[in-house]
Structure 1
Amino acid sequence: MYSCEGEPGGGPCIERERRVSEPSWPRFPWCPDFSTPLSRILLSHRKLSVFLAVFVCLVTSSLIVFFLFPRTIAVQPGGLNSSTVVIDESDIHLNITNILNISNNNYYPITVTQLTIEVLHLSLVVGQVSDSLLLHIGPLASEQMFYAVANRIWDENTYKICTWLKIKVHHVLLHIQGTLTCSYLSHSEQLVFQSYEYVDCRGNTSGPHLLVPHPP
């Protein structure tokens, strides 16, 4: 809508637009007003707080994954520590004590709960042992343990090698297979290892030790 008024001198009508006032929208209490400087500062602080919270959560999660992620538990046979030999009329009783090195590469302690050993000679099982243990190993630490196995060798050729005095070298080859059970963080893990050992079947003795038979 517009109105025309005649101007002096017969000029054209001048169109005048009516100014329409802008509507006044109602303000709700839950909608903050960010038009003031103080409100903009509060908004910046709120964004910074959210960013810091997300950053702290990410860093904490990364640290938890880094320190609790399972790492390798190394089991390394350390060789023969000692051996004793007893020879009877047909068998060789060879008792060996071996060394086992255990390294914990985790950032939390572990517990060794069981050790199972099987000794073979010429593909035949000559000795077995299964022990329940309670060995605690700290984070990033190593421990050395000893285990003993009583072996009985009844092979005729091996018996001749160990008892024939004309032979200067009296060695038998033993194949040792073992399983070590470790527990950590309510989880159990079995670690398999093996080694080959040459053992003197006469030991430090000057002659064979005869076993005294037990009375019936």
Structure 2
Amino acid sequence: MVTIGRSGEIGEGRDLTEGMEKVRTLRQFPLYGSRNEHSAGDTCPTCHGTGKLPRGHEDQLVAVILCNDVRLKPRRTKLYVCASMAACLFICCLILFFLFPRSVTLTPASVLSVMVYFTPTTVEMKVTNLINISNENFVPVQIVEFDIQWLMLHVVEGKTKITNMTAIRSRSQKSYTIQSDLTITDPGLNIYCKSSSIKIHTLYVELQMTMNISYLSHTEQLSLDTYEFIDCGANSTVPHPVW
């Protein structure tokens, strides 16, 4: 019984000492939001409840905002975020739709004329062709270079290169007139074209066309192989379609 009593006395003394230290601390630092020592609350971290801030410590000001302040809970936040995302997605789709590369088509339309000149060992011809170029893009297409090659019996008889062709506007089609010079040196073809006993001197010619185009900061090459027939025995100025 005596031991228990002494322990209790020691515990009470210790609690009394801690309470006195707490009171002394509260007196040194007044409570937060008060100018006296008797108000209930927490100690102000900036001015310790005195309402005054020491000079040179202005950058240590602390702003206190209530948790239920409407400024901390903006209204329609989800609506604004969703609307912004939808607008960005719509703009991206529009950009992709208008800038997505589309096809540029090269099509031979017809043979406009064939002028034939005989020499002792060759047959010289000037062939004028009409070709169509279609641009399905929403941006203009610049033609960098156009090459056309004529082959007869797998032998190249003429080449033409053009570098000054104008650009094709967006979503449009343009026609170009291409004039090429052919020289037939094959003895058998020379006899065939110069023979007066044959009324129709038809040659089937292979055309290999290559076109380099530039648009949207990149370059592409288009190629087309086709066939057409021409009369190598006489001049022909009547247009006829290409087969």
Asked if TM exceeds 0.5, the reply is yes
Partner AA of 1:176 in structure 2: L
Q: What does the per-residue CA deviation read over 1:143-184, in whole Å, with 9 as the maximum and x for residues that have no partner?
A: 000111101001122112111111111111111101111111
User: Could you tell me which of 135, 152, 155 is aligned with 1:104?
Assistant: 135
Aligned match of 2:195: 164
User: Could you tell me which of 75, 84, 97 is aligned with 1:66?
Assistant: 97
What count of residue pairs does the alignment treat as equivalent? 178
Give how far 1:39 is off.
6.0
1:186 and 2:217 correspond? yes
1:151 and 2:182 correspond? yes
Secondary structure (helix, strand or coil) at the match of 2:74 reads helix
CA RMSD across the alignment: 2.4
Give how far 1:92 is off.
0.5
Is this contact kept in 2: 1:119–1:125, CA < 8 A? yes
Q: What does the per-residue CA deviation read over 1:108-144, in whole Å, with 9 as the maximum and x for residues that have no partner?
A: 1111121111111111010011111241111110000
Give how far 1:45 is off.
2.3
User: Could you tell me which of 147, 152, 155 is aligned with 1:116?
Assistant: 147
Partner AA of 1:157 in structure 2: G
User: Could you tell me which of 89, 94, 115 is aligned with 2:120?
Assistant: 89
- The structure whose Rg is larger is 2
Q: Give the Cα separation in 2 of the matches to 1:31 and 1:106.
A: 57
1:128 and 2:159 correspond? yes
CA spacing shift, 1:158–1:46, aligned 2, 3 Å: same
Q: Give the Cα separation in 2 of the matches to 1:157 and 1:43.
A: 91
Secondary structure (helix, strand or coil) at the match of 2:199 reads coil
**For structure 1, which runs of at least 5 residues remain unmatched after alignment?**
1-23, 206-216
Give how far 1:95 is off.
1.1
* Percent of residue pairs bearing the same amino acid type: 29
Secondary structure (helix, strand or coil) at the match of 1:133 reads coil
Secondary structure (helix, strand or coil) at the match of 2:234 reads coil
Partner AA of 1:89 in structure 2: P
The structure 1 segments of at least 4 consecutive aligned residues displaced by more than 6 Å after TM superposition are: none
1:45 and 2:76 correspond? yes
Aligned match of 1:198: 229
Secondary structure (helix, strand or coil) at the match of 2:85 reads helix
Give how far 1:77 is off.
1.1
Secondary structure (helix, strand or coil) at the match of 2:96 reads helix
Aligned match of 2:208: 177
Q: Give the Cα separation in 2 of the matches to 1:167 and 1:149.
A: 25
Is this contact kept in 2: 1:111–1:184, CA < 8 A? yes
CA spacing shift, 1:139–1:156, aligned 2, 3 Å: same
Q: Give the Cα separation in 2 of the matches to 1:45 and 1:30.
A: 25
Partner AA of 2:112 in structure 1: N
CA spacing shift, 1:197–1:30, aligned 2, 3 Å: farther
Aligned match of 2:47: none
Compare the two structures and name the one with the higher helix fraction: 2
Is this contact kept in 2: 1:77–1:194, CA < 8 A? no
Partner AA of 1:149 in structure 2: S
CA spacing shift, 1:78–1:32, aligned 2, 3 Å: farther
Q: Give the Cα separation in 2 of the matches to 1:134 and 1:85.
A: 26
Flag the structure with more relative contact order, 1 or 2, with Cα contacts below 8 A and sequence separation at least 6. Answer: 1
CA spacing shift, 1:45–1:92, aligned 2, 3 Å: same
Per the normalisation by structure 2, the TM-score is 0.67
